[in-house]
Structure 1
Amino acid sequence: MEKYLTIPTSQEELENLKSGDYVYLTGTIYTARDAAHKRMYEAVQEGKELPVSLENQFVYYLGPTPAKEGQVIGSAGPTTSSRMDKYTPTMLEHGLKGMIGKGKRSKEVIQSIIKHKAIYFAAVGGAGALLSKCIKEAEVIAYNDLGTEAIRKLKVERFPVIVVIDSQGHNLYETAVEDFKKQLL
């Protein structure tokens, strides 16, 4: 099913999303990859304040290429999400509600998604140039020294994603395989 979501969004809207839904996101999302996640995780462990409040926010696992002249951002394809798995439960505990990346997530992350009623979305890997056209503004807001892995605040319009793991823990990567097997019979 195709849906449109303005973010930040309500908990009710998130809970209405189902694994397999095609969603177009409009609003503010943040970027953070491995190095930024590690720093945020360490900040939490040390009792320090995070550089951005994660409360009801979405994070896109992205390290964009440099923008060419006249562009807001360079190619903006997703990073493999499992690289953030060891940090994700802590980020969810601090209010994170949506994650955008590619690939499978650990059992611990899935349990944390369910516990915190969050959502894991996939963006199409290999479509970074096309995805960048949905990004209307991009601003580095933290960890500038990390270069492409700095945290960015993005304004997106109709950014296409697919719900992979919904707030109840239904996982498209598992159900799609089962559906395919049924079709073979």
Structure 2
Amino acid sequence: MVRLNLPYSEDELLRVKAGDEVFIYGTLYVGRDQVHKRLYEAIAKGEKLPIELNGNGIYYMGPSPKVDGFALGAAGPTTSARMDPFSPTLLKHGLRVMVGKGPRSSEVLAAIKEYKGLYLQAFGGCGALYSSCIKKSEVVSYPELGPEALLRLEVEAMPCVCIADSNGNVLS
């Protein structure tokens, strides 16, 4: 079991190996297809991003409406492959931790190795469990995207498994 604090230090990322059970603590951003597209386009135009990628992680989450007593409703992972066209560029510009479900492209896996990042897999069907790990949720940018807005979460003991590590090892 590995505890990963976000924002992370480079040393923390290098300790995590493919196959490790990882528990995330701290600030975790949520961004899906449309957020990734906007971040990618902003980088291409040389614009300032609404968040700092260095030190932070992005969770590919499909949120549901808030439930009394919780920061969000169900907060399960969505398919990571939809972010693959944008992920190598985001990794090049500082993103190092990605959390989602399902396989990644060979291009993303190569970029994870090149930029010393991690791909952590969250468990599908565990939206209620993940919701219980979220202590706070707020919209950071792109509110017009509704449930696909860029969110900032504060999480405690969010369970994942490392699928791809900074050394290029991939759990299959």
TM-score (norm 1): 0.91
Other-structure match for 2:15? 16
- Which runs of structure 2 are paired with 1:143-158 in the superposition (5 Å)? 143-158=142-157
Contact 2:24 2:156 in 1 (8 A): yes
Residue pair 2:42, 2:49 contacting (<8 A) in 1 also: yes
Q: Distance in 1 between matches of 2:51 and 2:118?
A: 19
CA contact (8 A) 2:143 2:150 kept: yes
Which residue identity lines up with residue 62 of structure 1 in the other structure?
M
Aligned residue pairs total 172
Structure-2 residue corresponding to 1:178: none
2:109 equivalent to 1:110: yes
Q: State the distance in 2 between where 1:46 and 1:127 align.
A: 37
Q: Is there any run of 5+ residues in structure 1 with no aligned partner, and where?
A: 174-185
Partner of 2:41: 42
1:127-138 to 2 correspondences below 5 Å? 127-138=126-137
Corresponding residue of 1:177: none
Residue 63 of structure 1, CA deviation: 2.5
Take 2:16 and 2:65, find their aligned partners in 1: how far apart are those partners? 33
Q: Which residue of 2 aligns with 1:5?
A: 4
> Which residue of structure 1 lines up, in the alignment, with residue 63 of structure 2?
64
Partner of 1:168: 167
The answer (yes or no) to whether the contact 1:64–1:75 under 8 Å persists in 2 is: yes
Kindly indicate whether residue 75 of structure 2 is the aligned counterpart of residue 76 of structure 1.
yes
Q: Report the equivalent of 1:86.
A: 85
One-letter code aligned to 2:75: A
Contact 1:89–1:109 (8 Å) recurs in 2: yes
CA apart distance, 1:69 = 2.8
Contact 2:142 2:149 in 1 (8 A): yes
Distance in 2 between residues matched to 1:79 and 1:151, nearest whole Å? 15
State the alpha-carbon separation in 1 of the partners of residues 18 and 32 from structure 2: 24
Paired residues of 1:32 and 1:63 also in contact (CA < 8 A)? no
Per the normalisation by structure 2, the TM-score is: 0.97
CA contact (8 A) 2:59 2:100 kept: yes
1:101 corresponding residue in structure 2: 100
CA distance in 2, matches of 1:136, 1:75: 13
Counterparts of 1:69 and 1:19, CA distance in 2: 36
- RMSD across aligned positions (CA): 0.8
Q: Which runs of 5+ in 2 are unaligned?
A: none
- Deviation, 1:4, is 1.3
Worse overlay, 38-47 or 94-103: 38-47
Instruction: Tell which structure's C-alpha radius of gyration is larger.
Output: 1
C-alpha deviation, 1:70, in angstroms: 3.0
What amino acid does structure 2 have at the position aligned with 1:164? I
- Structure with greater proportional strand content: 2
Q: Residue type of the partner of 1:155?
A: E
